[in-house]
Structure 1
Amino acid sequence: MPTGKNWEAYGRMGERYGPLISVSIGPVTMVVANTYAIAHDVLNKKSHIYSDRPHISLAEMVGWDLTTGLLAYGPQLKRTRQMFHSELGTRALVESFHGQIQSQARTFLTLLRDEPGKLKEHCYYHAGAFILRITYGYTASVSHDRFLTKSENAMVELNEALAPGRYLVNILPFLRYLPDWAPGTAFKQDVKIYRRNLLDLLNSPLKWVQENMKLDEAEESFTSKWLKRGLTNEDTDLVMYGAGTLLGAGPETTAITLDCFFLMMILHPDVQAKAQAEIDTVCGRHRLPTFEDRVRLPYLAAVMKEVQRMHPPVPLGLPHSTTQDDIHNGYFVPKGSLIFANVWNMSRDRSVYPDPFKFDPERFLGPEPQQDPADYVFGFGRRVCPGKLVADASLFITVAMSLHAYTFRPPLREDGQFDVPNFEPCEGLTSHLKPYNFDIVPRYSQGAFDELLNGKSVRGL
């Protein structure tokens, strides 16, 4: 079983054996769909039997199997997704968050100006602070926020727990039933730590909302809205796990995409300049971009699509599982099989994206645009990310404001040459980029910038 950047290994196997490959690990059959066409056929068109999650022993021992992302397909998942859809599932609902999103983006601009060397931290804070606001009505602290710290730590632990080959109990489930003193059960100590941290992540913000509701001081949020309905204990648990899933997974994936955007601008100054010129033409130099400008910024939209294609945050997706036997194009897929959509390989499919390793936003423009990566980077079928519309809105306004306010470039070395960073994705369930250095050049004077952040019109620029 490949380790490391396994999405690349499965892609190479697909070139040799075909776009649909199967690997047997003991009694478990693992199937990898290396093309969008196959993933669409099974995960979208047959979602009624391909939407379960596999039994992952360590996840079950910790309690991650009750979070929305890993929850088994059934009534609880359907109910949770209904909850998400009622608050986040339409563009009209997302429009109600536009003011909060724009306010958070202005804070992000200030953080970039004041401490540009902490880009990754700023990206995570920016994504997480907005999610905390809409999910719990909580205003995050800029530095070392307690809930964001819990979220980040939980995702590190989840990445570790689901890494291929990291925990033998995921392959040999009987190990979980051995006594703690038996050889091969050291993983149980990790389980205790992971479980304690997960429960803390889930319970702490929920209790914070409940306490503020008792004082009649709770801001309207996903959690408070549902708690006000007088839920059953089961539904209250669904709200807790659903909100915790947004807090756990949402900041990381959005932050990864933002981080990649800035690196692509640094590596491709011509693209950056063209996007800035488009923004300047639409908005002028006297105000920041708004959501109303979006329809007139097609090149910027293409840039964001290319960023998502270049670096999908979850390259191999989360595994689906079949609830019954199936035959697809003559291939037998037994019940309980693990189905992976190799999102990374889809984004590098030469039959869909000519010259796939080139960063080229133009591929999404013109009369025959290439496939929108949103078709696959947010998941498939009944497992599509419930926060995709919110994430899309947040990413748009953040990159638009950032390009309007700043230019990003490689740092200068002592010899006067640019120290150009490399595009280096890391292995993991979620794939971060290796840290890189850059310089940030303001496009406004300090005074003009402050006026823009305060919503004032800047004249004479």
Structure 2
Amino acid sequence: MGSAYGETEDENILRYAETILHTLVTVITTPTAVVLDFLPFSKYMPSWVLSGLFNAGLLKTRPLLVHVMDSAFEDARTAAALGKDKASFVAIATEAQTLKSDTNSDNDIKVAAFTMFIGQSNSRSFSGRSLTSTPPVAGYEALAITLNSFLVQMVTHQDVYAKAQRSIDEVVGKERLPDLSDRNSLPYVDAILKEVYRINPPLPISIPRRLMDDDEYRGYHIPKGTSVIANIWQMGRDSNYYKDPDTFNPERFIAPKPGSLVELDPREYIFSFGRRICPGQRFGDDSMWWTIASIIATFNVKKALDADGKKITPSMTVLPGLTSHIQQFPCSIQPRSQRALELIAESAIHLE
């Protein structure tokens, strides 16, 4: 919540936001919602029928949404005016508004801030306080899926992990953690993240789009107004853009040799595209890069051992659902050294 509104002690706002988020996700993932997407005539049905088919809770959530947006916005603006928190999005946006360098209205800022907040939400806890038992969603879930995908690939591809550790040791050393200023100097770590994105995108299909004009795809005519859904999972496995697409190979994103296939950066599509592109893509991508770079720098990640001392190879099974969760897997994660432990502790203190 800090990036959007700054720190808050108002747990009511946090609880209300949880309710809104959980209700929205519950409604859009119901079988009824999917059925209505494929029944065009449903738009002619009376509103009272549709509200009954979905969930009356969705309609009741709107006043709560308005209350949360207004309250969080006013609290953040007041805190900024008192000099308590001038680094939040609301503080910066309202200051620009005051200086007339920005023409956005209060409502524009409210909507943008709430979108940022939802995108960063961890629905199991806010600011260290456990609030609900609902599953993680939005930006937090995408980061969690990507982190699990990274770990399962590193457990399986120890040569890749060792090479990444060597590159960080050479560029950053062992006396500090990598930071975003190191990113351009660590192309192999960047390539690992791109390959993780490609091989298991957190959201395997895009949100539905509506065609503005007639179109044609592989000989099929698609009339204007049709709802279409992009298959992001398949885009990452298109052999026209990727050599051996089912193989995990970060090298594909290192400067290609002359005449070889130039492989598409998956960040061009995994955050969606066009007007519906994820507004938090840069925030999420930078956060994910910093996380995996810090893990590589400080931990050894290996296969776990079973009761007989044999290495356990993860299945890499992707569970069914709207998002691409990897099936749970055991692994061994150990600090590389005493200095690595100290860096981890120092980082934890700084984040508090």
Distance 1:236 1:443, change over 3 A: same
Distance 1:267 1:190, change over 3 A: farther
Say which of 218, 225, 245 aligns to 1:336. 225
Q: Give secondary structure in 2 for the equivalent of 1:439.
A: strand
Equivalent residue number for residue 425 of structure 1: 318
Written as runs of structure 1 = structure 2, the 5 A alignment for 1:50-449 is: 132-138=1-7, 154-163=20-29, 165-167=31-33, 168-170=35-37, 171=39, 172-175=42-45, 177-178=47-48, 185=52, 187-192=54-59, 195=62, 198-199=65-66, 202-203=69-70, 205-213=72-80, 215-228=82-95, 229=97, 235-249=105-119, 250-326=139-215, 332-365=221-254, 366-367=256-257, 368=260, 369-445=262-338, 449=341
Equivalent residue number for residue 350 of structure 2: none
Residue segments in structure 2 that go unaligned for 5+ positions in a row: 120-138, 348-352
Distance 1:148 1:260, change over 3 A: farther
- 1:452 positional shift: 6.6
- The code of the aligned residue for 1:251 comes to Y
- 1:441 positional shift: 0.6
Equivalent residue number for residue 342 of structure 2: 450
Distance 1:413 1:139, change over 3 A: farther
- The code of the aligned residue for 1:338 comes to S
Separation (CA, whole Å) in 2 of partners of 1:385 and 1:272: 29
Q: Give secondary structure in 2 for the equivalent of 1:266.
A: helix
Equivalent residue number for residue 96 of structure 1: none
Separation (CA, whole Å) in 2 of partners of 1:148 and 1:438: 34
Separation (CA, whole Å) in 2 of partners of 1:408 and 1:147: 39
TM-score normalised by structure 1 residue count: 0.59
- The code of the aligned residue for 1:339 comes to V
- The code of the aligned residue for 1:137 comes to G
- 1:280 positional shift: 1.3
* Preserved contact between residue 313 and residue 431 of structure 1 (Cα < 8 Å): yes
* Preserved contact between residue 267 and residue 421 of structure 1 (Cα < 8 Å): yes
- 1:306 positional shift: 0.4
Distance 1:136 1:424, change over 3 A: farther
The Cα offsets for residues 205-255 of structure 1, whole Å up to 9 and x where unpaired, read as: 334314424544233221222234269999322222222222223333233
- 1:344 positional shift: 0.5
* Preserved contact between residue 136 and residue 205 of structure 1 (Cα < 8 Å): yes
Residue segments in structure 1 that go unaligned for 5+ positions in a row: 1-131, 456-461
Distance 1:287 1:220, change over 3 A: closer
Distance 1:299 1:233, change over 3 A: closer
- 1:329 positional shift: 7.8
- Kindly indicate whether structure 1 or structure 2 has the higher relative contact order, using CA contacts under 8 Å at least 6 residues apart: 1
Aligned length: 317
Distance 1:215 1:349, change over 3 A: same
Separation (CA, whole Å) in 1 of partners of 2:290 and 2:230: 29
Equivalent residue number for residue 128 of structure 2: none
Distance 1:277 1:451, change over 3 A: closer
- 1:423 positional shift: 1.9
Distance 1:415 1:295, change over 3 A: same
- 1:150 positional shift: 6.3
Separation (CA, whole Å) in 1 of partners of 2:66 and 2:148: 29
- The code of the aligned residue for 2:326 comes to L
* Preserved contact between residue 316 and residue 343 of structure 1 (Cα < 8 Å): yes
- The code of the aligned residue for 2:149 comes to C
The Cα offsets for residues 414-433 of structure 1, whole Å up to 9 and x where unpaired, read as: 11123333323334443333
Q: Give secondary structure in 1 for the equivalent of 2:297.
A: helix
Separation (CA, whole Å) in 2 of partners of 1:341 and 1:426: 20
Q: Give secondary structure in 2 for the equivalent of 1:377.
A: coil
- 1:301 positional shift: 1.3
Distance 1:214 1:189, change over 3 A: same
TM-score normalised by structure 2 residue count: 0.76
- 1:135 positional shift: 1.7
Distance 1:233 1:291, change over 3 A: closer
- The code of the aligned residue for 1:304 comes to L
Q: Give secondary structure in 1 for the equivalent of 2:229.
A: strand
The Cα offsets for residues 299-347 of structure 1, whole Å up to 9 and x where unpaired, read as: 1111111000011122111122123445678754323211222111111
- The code of the aligned residue for 1:205 comes to A
- 1:164 positional shift: 7.3
- The code of the aligned residue for 1:390 comes to F
The Cα offsets for residues 382-429 of structure 1, whole Å up to 9 and x where unpaired, read as: 333233222222222221111101112233221112333332333444
Once superposed, what is the RMSD of the aligned Cα atoms?
Answer: 3.5
* Preserved contact between residue 288 and residue 404 of structure 1 (Cα < 8 Å): yes
